[in-house]
Amino acid sequence: MTANESEIRELLERRTDAQQSKDIDRLLSFYSPDIVYYDVVPPLRFAGTEEVRRNFLRWFDGYKGPISLETHELTIVISEDAAFANMLHLDSGKRKGLAGPVSSMWVRETVCLRRSNDRWVITHEHISIPFDPISFAKSYLLGLLQHVGRRAKLRSSSGRPGRPSRSLSG
């Protein structure tokens, strides 16, 4: 693992900690002032830290208590001063306005980072939620959960810890 990959993994872990504890100021410290953030809720595109702040506060407000985020299948691709990461998150917690005590869903995420003043910052983020566009079936999400579980089981039995990072240059 390269030093850059270690820095980015640590940044993403600290960002997840800030999300789970709903620490908005700490969370925004990982983002560039000119962040462009695509989400699944209107207006779908958020530009700049003030718009992103309002969107995160809206997300935080949808939960009673903390948010649980498990990161799966993290892949990082790095070049000199640019990096890309994609991952799955299992997003869980007690949501306001939902019948069950705990609700979970899978979220796909792509993050673009730039090294600026000797630190990595997130300049672009894209969030999506997988669903079956024909039936909108919840079973599609459950199938995804089973898929990820099978892949994790296959990896652990093969001795492969996960996908390694790759360099953009080769």
pLDDT of residue 78: 97
Q: What percent of the chain has pLDDT over 70?
A: 74
- Average pLDDT on 5-29 reads 97
Q: Which residue has the higher pLDDT, 62 or 141?
A: 62
In the prediction, which pLDDT does 170 show?
Answer: 43
Amino acid at 76: I
The Cα angle at residue 16 between residues 23 and 112, in degrees rounded to 5: 110
Domains defined along the chain, listed by start: 3-167 (3.10.450.50)
CA angle centred on 63, ends 40 and 25, rounded to 5°: 80
Band of pLDDT at residue 155, cut at 50, 70 and 90: low
Q: Which of the pair, 89 or 165, is modelled with greater confidence?
A: 89
Give residue 97's pLDDT: 79
Which has more pLDDT, 12 or 156?
12
What local confidence, expressed as pLDDT, does residue 156 receive?
56
For range 20-32, the mean pLDDT: 98
Which class for 107: exposed (0-12), middle (13-18), buried (19 or more C-beta within 10 A)?
middle
Model pTM? 0.79
- Token pair for 91: 């997003």
What count of other Cβ atoms lies within 10 Å of the Cβ of residue 11? 20
Mean pLDDT, to the nearest integer, of 16-22? 97
Q: For 81-98, what is each residue's pLDDT tens digit?
A: 999 999 999 999 888 876
pLDDT greater than 50 at residue 163: no
CA dihedral sign, ordered 12, 16, 41, 87: positive
Determine whether 104 is exposed, middle or buried from the number of CB atoms within 10 Å of its CB (0-12, 13-18, 19+).
middle
- The yes-or-no verdict on residue 164 having pLDDT over 50 is no
In 4-151 the beta strands, taken as DSSP E runs, fall at: 31-38, 45-47, 68-78, 82-93, 103-116, 119-128
What pLDDT digit, counting tens, does each position of 112-146 carry?
999 989 999 999 999 998 876 766 655 455 555 55
